[in-house]
């Protein structure tokens, strides 16, 4: 038996935009920086679909060819719909894993390092400014004392 099952007309390789969960965009429309990740996940789901589609019951797939009864077509459509729902669940699962395992990129880690260095420099400079402000205030106090001392001496003369 070299029967090659064909996917029913009602099944699509990927969910239509209205069937996609919120936040998942079509790989054809680049909308954000995660588009590449979503494209990879959708490619994985599409590969799973292609791999698992032949697993639909062969009897029912062959029944379409042999029988004109619409009930057989309905059964295959039901299996295809169940399969698509399972693929969507897998897709959501993979999306969740991707979010959990999302390791920072090199650029993100460099930005974090630069921010940490800048924050450290800012703290150092703030401490230096406080120290210089104190020194300036002390110097002003000393100058006022010297001026007062000289004024008093001048009044004596």
User: What is the tens place of the pLDDT at every residue in 90-102?
Assistant: 778 777 776 666 6
Tokens of 45: 């789901």
Q: What digits encode the pLDDT tens for the residues 135-145?
A: 999 999 999 99
Share of the chain above pLDDT 70, in %: 56
Quick one: 50 and 8 in the same domain?
yes
Quick one: 69 and 132 in the same domain?
no
Tokens of 39: 């494209």
Count of domains for the chain: 2
Quick one: 97 and 126 in the same domain?
no
Quick one: 97 and 157 in the same domain?
no
Q: In this model, does residue 10 exceed pLDDT 70? A: no
Quick one: 82 and 6 in the same domain?
yes
What local confidence, expressed as pLDDT, does residue 73 receive?
61
Quick one: 3 and 74 in the same domain?
yes
Asked if 72 and 64 count as a contact pair (C-beta separation under 8 A), the reply is yes
Quick one: 33 and 11 in the same domain?
yes
Which pTM does this prediction carry? Answer: 0.35
Asked if 60 and 79 count as a contact pair (C-beta separation under 8 A), the reply is yes
The one-character DSSP state at 21 is P
Quick one: 76 and 114 in the same domain?
no
Tokens of 141: 């106090």
Distance from C-alpha of 92 to C-alpha of 81, rounded to nearest angstrom: 17
Domain coverage including residue 80: 1-102
Quick one: 133 and 73 in the same domain?
no
């Amino acid at each position: 038996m070299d029967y090659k099952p064909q996917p029913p007309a009602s099944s699509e390789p990927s969910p239509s935009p209205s069937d996609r969960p919120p936040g998942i965009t079509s790989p054809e429309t680049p909308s954000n920086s995660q588009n590449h990740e979503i494209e990879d996940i959708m490619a994985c789901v599409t590969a799973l679909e292609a791999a698992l589609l032949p697993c639909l019951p062969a009897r029912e797939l062959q029944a379409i060819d042999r029988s004109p009864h619409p009930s057989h077509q309905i059964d295959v459509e039901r299996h295809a719909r169940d399969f698509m729902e399972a693929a969507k669940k897998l897709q959501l699962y993979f999306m969740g894993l991707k979010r959990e395992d999302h390791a920072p990129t090199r650029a993100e880690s460099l930005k974090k390092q630069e921010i940490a260095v800048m924050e450290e420099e800012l703290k150092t400079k703030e401490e230096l400014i406080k120290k210089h402000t104190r020194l300036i205030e002390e110097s002003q106090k000393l100058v006022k004392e010297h001026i007062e001392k000289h004024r008093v001496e001048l009044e004596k003369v």
